[in-house]
Amino acid sequence: MKHFILYIIVLCSSIGISAQEKEMPPKGGEPKNFALPEKEIVSFDNGLTLVMIPYGSIPKATIRFSVKTGNIDENENQVWLADLLADLLEEGSTTKTSKQIADEMAGMGGNLNIGVGLHTSSISSSVLYEFAPEAIKVMADVLKNPKFPESELGRLKDNMKRDLSVRLSRPQAQASRDFYATIYPDHPYGRVYPTDEMIDSYTVEDIKAFYDGHFGALRTTVYVAGNFDSNAVKTAVENSLGDWKKGTEAEYNVAEPMTSSEIKIIDRPDAPQSTIYYGLPTVGPSDDDYIALDVTNSILGGSFASRITSNIREDKGYTYSPYSSLDTNYKSGVWYESADVTTEHTGASLAEIQKEIKRLQEEPPTQEELDGIINYESGIYVLQNSTPNGIIGQLIFLDTHDLDESFLTNKVKNMHAITPEKVQEMTQKYIKPENMTLIVVGDKAKIQDQVMETVQKPLKQ
Whether 292 and 173 map to the same domain: the answer is no
The answer to whether residue 3 is domain-embedded is no
Range of the domain at 64: 40-242
- The ranges of the chain with pLDDT < 50 are 1-25
Task: Annotate 131-153 with DSSP letters as a single string.
Answer: GHHHHHHHHHHHHHSB---GGGH
Model pLDDT, residue 9: 38
The alpha carbon of residue 191 and the mean position of all alpha carbons in its chain are separated, in whole angstroms, by 17
Whether 153 and 221 map to the same domain: the answer is yes
Residue 66 bridge partners (DSSP):
122, 221
Whether 276 and 127 map to the same domain: the answer is no
The answer to whether residue 4 is domain-embedded is no
The answer to whether residue 27 is domain-embedded is no
Model pLDDT, residue 19: 35
Question: Where residue 149 sits, what CATH number does that domain have?
Answer: 3.30.830.10
Whether 406 and 440 map to the same domain: the answer is yes
Whether 208 and 283 map to the same domain: the answer is no
Dist CA 214 CA 211 (whole Å): 5
Dist CA 210 CA 146 (whole Å): 13
- Which of 242, 274, 306 is at the close of a domain? 242
Say what the pTM is: 0.90
pLDDT digits (tens, 9 = 90+) for 340-368: 999 999 999 999 999 999 999 999 999 99
Cα atoms in the Cβ-side hemisphere of radius 13 Å centred on 373 = 28
Dist CA 104 CA 252 (whole Å): 35
Whether 278 and 354 map to the same domain: the answer is yes
Tell me if residue 246 falls in helix, strand or coil.
Answer: coil
pLDDT digits (tens, 9 = 90+) for 109-151: 999 999 999 999 999 999 999 999 999 999 999 999 999 999 9
- Which of 211, 242, 273 is at the close of a domain? 242
Model pLDDT, residue 458: 60
Whether 276 and 156 map to the same domain: the answer is no
CB neighbour list of residue 155: distance below 8 Å, 6 or more residues apart: none
Whether 196 and 305 map to the same domain: the answer is no
The residue among 428, 407, 164, 139 whose CA lies nearest residue 291 is: 407
pLDDT digits (tens, 9 = 90+) for 5-35: 333 333 344 444 433 343 444 555 566 777 8
CB neighbour list of residue 75: distance below 8 Å, 6 or more residues apart: none
Number of domains composing the chain = 2
pLDDT digits (tens, 9 = 90+) for 226-256: 999 999 999 999 999 999 999 999 999 999 9
The answer to whether residue 11 is domain-embedded is no
The answer to whether residue 51 is domain-embedded is yes
Dist CA 200 CA 244 (whole Å): 32
b vs e for 378-411, b when ≥16 Cβ sit within 10 Å of the residue's Cβ? beebbeebebbbbbbebbbbbbbbeeeeebbeeb
Whether 173 and 217 map to the same domain: the answer is yes
